[in-house]
Each structure stands twice: as C-alpha cells, then as structure tokens.
Structure 1
C-alpha cells in the first residue's frame, strides 16, 4: 500500500478508533473511485455480460434466470461516458472482456461434450430396454428372486420405490448381456496382451531394417532415436528386432566367423547363441 494513503497519529494513543478510520479512509476512497470509473466505462455492460455468461455455464435454469435479471438491472443503472479519457482503462477493459469470452468458451466446450455423451448413453439404454422388453421367449436368470420382490411390493401397495424402474432396467441389462460383455472383456485383454505394434511404428522399423539389412543391429543411440520417432519403448524395440532377426534374417557366410570386438558386441552375442564357435583349434595350429 502507498505510504501516502496511510495516516498514523503517534501523539494521540487514546483515540485508536479515530486513527483506524484515518488510516483506511483514503484507500477506500481510491477503491470507490476506481469502481466508479469501471462502471462508467462504455465496455462495462459487455464486461458484466461476459462475467455473467461464465457463471451461467452448467447452472440450473432458476439460477440462470436470476443472473440474467441481475445483469439487466446492473447494466441499466450504469451511466457511461465517452472513451479516450483514460487509455490505460480502455486497454484494461478490452483485454479483460476478451479474456472472459475465451474463458466462457473453455467452460462451455467440455460441458456441451458431456451433455452430448449423456444424451447418447441415455438413447442407447432406452433402445436396449425396448429391445429387451419386446423380445419373446427370453428366459430370465433368477426368476424366483424377481417373483419374490414382486410379492413384497404387492403386499405394500402404498410403498413406491423411486429407483425401482432404474434397478429393474439395470438388472435386465446385466442378465441379458453379462455373458457377452464378459467375452468382450476377455477378447480385449487378449488383444491388448498379444497386440501388434501400430502400423506406422512397424513401418518405420521395417524401413530401418531395409536400410541396414546386412547388419540389422541398431546401436543404443539408434534405438533411442527409433523409440522417439515411433512412440514405442526400448523393450518393444528390442523385442521386435530379436523376433525379426530370428524369422527373416540369416547372416552371410563371411559374417559367421566375425571376431568379437568393440564394434560388433551385439552380433557376437546373438551369433554365439545361435551358431556357437567351435572350440577345436587344431586345424588352425597345424
């Protein structure tokens, strides 16, 4: 707070209330002045409407009606003045109105998406309920339990369960589609476990394979680059190259006897497992 707005009186310690009033009175006057300038600005009705629109997103109809009424009353009581007297205030009002408009769009988009989603789900549930009630010869599982529930309701006709219809619909759907949903879940888990790599990622690996077919052993830096470009992790990259070499690559005859050195450690390890070197050195000594 500006020191010029605070007034201290050290000579009069007995009148503390008076000192407090002197301390905050200039600051309150400044706030009231700024508020009056904002409400008198030509863009204030737009600013107020933008703020109210943000509050209306997702609100109940009665709340929306009260907000609109309050906005209309507040806008009608404003006495605007011409723009240009305070360029800084003009810039502030324009920027704040724009910010509130963007904020309203950000709030409205997910709310509309949620409403569309709920409407779609509701339509699907109604369609399933209609098909379930119109199907003939369908045997309900747990028919005895349902009959017992009906008897209990008949005994007390005055009792009405507001969630009875929802529970009945849920029970019908679960009984009718529980087996189908279970098989879908198992199939999904199986595909997720044994699923193939994405098409684009696999094509990038095949392109690298074609360019390095004579020596399809990527270095660690090359694996990292492939992982970044394909979106796969290093474990997937390693597994793909191991399987690809086992199925589609056979080293040439001159590569069968490559000596292990710093440049070919990966090839030596794979070659040692698939084609172990002979330990008989007599032919080379004599």
Structure 2
C-alpha cells in the first residue's frame, strides 16, 4: 500500500515535470496565443473580458514561460526527449491554427451573406417609393417646409 502511494507521488512529480517542460518550451507562448485566438473567433471564453484581458493573459503565460526557461529538470521514469516535445508543440500549434481557420470560414461566409442581403434590401428599398426610407425622407422634407 505504501509502495502504491510513493508510485502515485512519483506519477504526480512526472506530471508536474511534464507541465514545467511544456510551459518552458519556446513555442508555449505561440500555443497559448493560438488557443486564445480560437476562443476569440468562436466567441467563447470572453466572459465579459475585453481583448486586452486576453492579451494580458497571453502575456502572463509568456512571462511565466520566460521565468521558467532556465529550469530544465530531468526525470528517469518519464523522459520525453526534446525532439518529441518539439514535434508535439509544433503539431498542437498547427492544429490550433487550422481549427481557427475552420471556425472562421463559416463566420466569414455568414457575414458575406448578411452583407449581400443588406445590400439587396437597400436596393429594393430605394426602388420602392413606399419603403420606410422614402417615408422618412418625405417626413423630413415636409417638416422643413
């Protein structure tokens, strides 16, 4: 039972080591920035915060990363070599960039559709003498007389 506890503590240390290695990786700031960009595009996670709040959060992550840059602990039970971590970080950053693009595409199509509909409705309103815009213009003209 006691051996099991020490094994659990060792696993916890390994997890903390992995978290430290990830947070001190040179691509960590880019990863956080890409993650926040996905949240911004999706309109998720703002929770009333401005983009300045998100920017401060990214800067905090970057400062944590740079503060921990000099630490480079090693563990015998859980060694993730640097090239594997580099590949993971690059792949994750790439996946987040692709996710952002996938989220943006339907939004851009929707915006283009709405703008086209607005333009068509404006053209129809101009062509129709009984459109509300014409009534407003006539009311302003009559008020000035």
Following superposition, the deviation at residue 23 of structure 1 comes to: 6.2
Match of 2:110 among 90, 114, 118: 114
Deviation at 1:22, TM superposition (A): 5.0
Q: TM-score, normalised by structure 1?
A: 0.36
What is the rounded CA distance, in whole Å, between the counterparts of 1:26 and 1:36 in structure 2? 15
| Corresponding residue for residue 119 of structure 2 | 123
Alignment of 1:71-110 (within 5 A): 71-79=58-66, 80=69, 86-110=82-106
Greater relative contact order (CA < 8 Å, ≥ 6 in sequence): 2
Cα distance, 1:75 vs structure 2:
1.3
User: What is the TM-score when the length of structure 2 is the normalising length?
Assistant: 0.65
Q: Say if 2:43 is the partner of 1:59.
A: yes
Alpha carbons 2:32, 2:58 under 8 Å: kept: yes
- Where in structure 1 are there 5+ consecutive unaligned residues? 1-7, 11-18, 139-164, 166-286
Choose from 42, 62, 77 the match for 2:26.
42
Q: 1:23 to 1:86 in 2, by over 3 A?
A: closer
Are 1:69 and 2:56 counterparts? yes
Shift of 1:107: 1.4
Structure 2 counterparts to residues 111-190 of structure 1, below 5 A: 111-132=107-128, 135=129
Q: CA RMSD in A?
A: 2.8
- The structure with the largest helix share of the pair is 2
Deviations 1:112-134 (Å, cap 9, x if unpaired)? 111111121122223323433xx
Match runs of 1:240-255 below 5 Å? none
Q: Which runs of 5+ in 2 are unaligned?
A: 71-80, 133-145
In structure 1, how many angstroms separate the alpha carbons of the residues matched to 2:121 and 2:114?
A: 10
Q: What CA distance in whole angstroms lies between the structure 2 residues aligned with 1:88 and 1:58?
A: 30
The reply on whether 1:27 has 2:23 as its aligned counterpart is no
